[in-house]
C-alpha cells in the first residue's frame, strides 16, 4: 500500500497542487487509521484520559437531560471519534447509577481505534457516519476533540484558496498575509448531527479547542510525542488539528433546526456540573490519590490549562429541556 506521502506527492504531481483540506484529510486518515495516538506513550492526552471525572460528569449531564425529558426508553448514546472509548465507559457507568443504560453507537472511521474501543465497550455498534444509524429514538451525541481533527480549507483575504505544492523535496503551502480558515467537513458533520437530533429528539455535547470569536489566522498545527511539530513534514505520522470555529458550527446547527447552548469555557462547564464535589468524593474514597485528583481537576478547569481554550457547546431538539451547565440567557 502506498504511504500517505507517496499518495500526496502523486496527487500533487498529477494536479499541480492540492487543497489544505485534501492534505489534512489524507494525513489524518492514515494517522488515526494506523495507531492509537492517545496516552503518555502516544502523541497527545485528552480530557477523558486525564481523569475519570470528565466522562462521569458528561454521563451525569446526559442522565439529567434524559430524566427531565421524561426518561424516554428508546434513547441511544452516540459518540463521534471516541478514541479509546474511555469517555463513553466513564459516562455509561455514571448514567447506569441513575437508571440509564442506552445502546452504544460509535461513529469511528479508524480500524485501529475501533479495536481499542471494542475492548472497552463490547456492547457497542460502529458506524461510518451518524446518518447510518437505524431506528428513530432520540439520540444523545458526544464529541470530544472530534471536530478539530476534521479537514479545514485556507483562503487569503481576497478569497483565493491556498494550495499545497511539493518543491525542493518538501511540501509548501501558498503564502498569504492573512489566512482565513473554514471547515466544510465540520459544517457538514454538525449539520448531520443537528438534523438527526431535530428529527429524532435528544441533544449533543461538543467539546473542543476553540478559536476566539471573530479571530482569524492560520491555526493548523501538528503534534507528535506531546510536542508541537511541523504540519508540513511527514504527513500521516503526526496529528493534524485546527481550532474549531464554534460560531460557525452554532449557526449551522441553528439553521438545521436545533437550539444551541453556549459555547462556554470547559472550566466553567465542569465547575457548574459539580467537578468540585466529584473530586472531593473521589479523594475521600482514595486518600492516597488526593494530590493526583487535585492536579487532574486543575488541568481540566484552570484558565491557563484546558479550562478556557476548550469550549463546550450543547445542541437540543426544540421540545427538549434546557441542558445543565450553561447559564441560561437572561
Per CB under 6 A, residues contacting ligand SAH are 28, 32, 38, 46, 48-49, 81-83, 87, 107-110, 113, 144-146, 149
How far is it, in rounded angstroms, from Cα 208 to Cα 243? 8
Q: Which is nearer to ligand SAH, 72 or 184 (CB)?
A: 184
Q: Which is nearer to ligand SAH, 183 or 256 (CB)?
A: 183
Name the residue number minimizing CB distance to ligand SAH.
81
Closest distance to ligand SAH from the beta carbon of 48 (Å): 5
Closest distance to ligand SAH from the beta carbon of 152 (Å): 13
**Measured torsion, CA atoms of residues 85, 88, 94, 97, in degrees rounded to the nearest 10:** -100
Closest distance to ligand SAH from the beta carbon of 59 (Å): 14
Closest distance to ligand SAH from the beta carbon of 54 (Å): 9
How far is it, in rounded angstroms, from Cα 166 to Cα 208? 31
Residues 6+ apart with CB under 8 A from 99: 63, 71
Q: Do residues 185 and 247 make contact, with C-beta atoms less than 8 angstroms apart?
A: no
Q: Do residues 271 and 224 make contact, with C-beta atoms less than 8 angstroms apart?
A: no
Q: Which is nearer to ligand SAH, 110 or 301 (CB)?
A: 110
Q: Which is nearer to ligand SAH, 201 or 235 (CB)?
A: 235
Grid cell of 317 as nine digits? 431538539
Longest dimension (CA), the chain: 63
Closest distance to ligand SAH from the beta carbon of 110 (Å): 4
Neighbour tally for 255: CB within 10 Å: 10
Q: Which is nearer to ligand SAH, 146 or 246 (CB)?
A: 146
Closest distance to ligand SAH from the beta carbon of 215 (Å): 23
Grid cell of 134 as nine digits? 437505524
Q: Which is nearer to ligand SAH, 69 or 249 (CB)?
A: 249
Residues shown for the chain: 330
Whose grid coordinates read 446547527?
253
Grid cell of 237 as nine digits? 505520522
Amino acid at each position: 500500500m502506498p504511504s500517505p506521502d507517496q499518495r500526496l506527492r502523486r496527487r500533487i504531481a498529477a494536479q499541480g497542487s492540492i487543497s489544505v483540506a485534501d492534505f489534512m484529510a489524507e494525513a489524518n486518515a492514515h494517522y488515526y487509521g494506523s495507531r492509537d495516538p492517545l496516552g503518555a506513550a502516544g502523541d497527545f492526552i485528552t480530557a477523558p484520559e486525564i481523569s475519570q471525572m470528565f466522562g462521569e460528569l458528561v454521563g451525569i449531564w446526559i442522565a439529567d437531560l434524559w430524566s427531565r425529558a421524561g426518561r424516554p426508553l428508546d434513547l441511544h448514546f452516540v459518540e463521534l471519534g471516541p478514541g479509546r472509548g474511555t469517555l463513553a465507559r466513564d459516562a455509561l457507568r455514571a448514567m447506569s447509577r441513575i437508571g440509564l443504560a442506552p445502546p452504544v453507537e460509535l461513529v469511528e472511521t479508524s480500524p485501529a481505534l475501533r479495536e481499542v474501543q471494542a475492548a472497552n465497550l463490547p456492547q457497542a455498534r460502529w458506524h461510518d457516519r451518524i446518518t447510518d444509524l437505524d431506528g428513530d429514538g432520540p439520540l444523545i451525541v458526544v464529541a470530544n476533540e472530534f471536530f478539530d481533527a476534521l479537514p479545514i480549507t485556507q483562503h487569503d483575504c481576497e478569497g483565493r484558496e491556498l494550495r499545497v505544492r511539493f518543491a525542493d523535496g518538501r511540501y509548501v503551502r501558498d503564502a498569504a498575509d492573512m489566512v482565513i480558515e473554514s471547515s466544510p467537513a465540520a459544517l457538514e458533520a454538525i449539520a448531520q448531527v443537528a438534523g438527526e437530533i431535530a428529527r429524532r429528539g435528544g441533544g449533543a455535547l461538543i467539546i473542543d479547542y476553540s478559536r476566539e470569536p471573530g479571530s482569524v489566522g492560520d491555526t493548523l498545527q501538528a503534534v507528535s510525542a506531546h510536542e508541537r511539530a511541523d504540519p508540513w513534514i511527514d504527513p500521516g505520522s503526526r496529528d493534524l488539528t485546527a481550532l474549531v470555529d464554534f460560531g460557525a458550527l452554532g449557526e449551522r446547527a441553528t439553521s438545521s433546526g436545533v437550539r444551541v447552548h453556549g459555547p462556554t469555557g470547559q472550566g466553567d462547564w465542569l465547575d457548574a456540573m459539580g467537578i468540585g464535589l466529584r473530586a472531593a468524593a473521589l479523594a475521600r474514597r482514595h486518600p492516597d490519590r488526593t494530590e493526583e485528583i487535585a492536579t487532574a481537576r486543575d488541568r481540566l478547569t484552570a484558565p491557563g490549562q484546558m479550562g478556557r481554550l476548550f469550549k463546550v457547546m450543547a445542541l437540543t431538539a426544540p421540545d427538549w429541556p434546557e441542558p445543565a451547565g450553561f447559564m441560561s440567557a437572561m
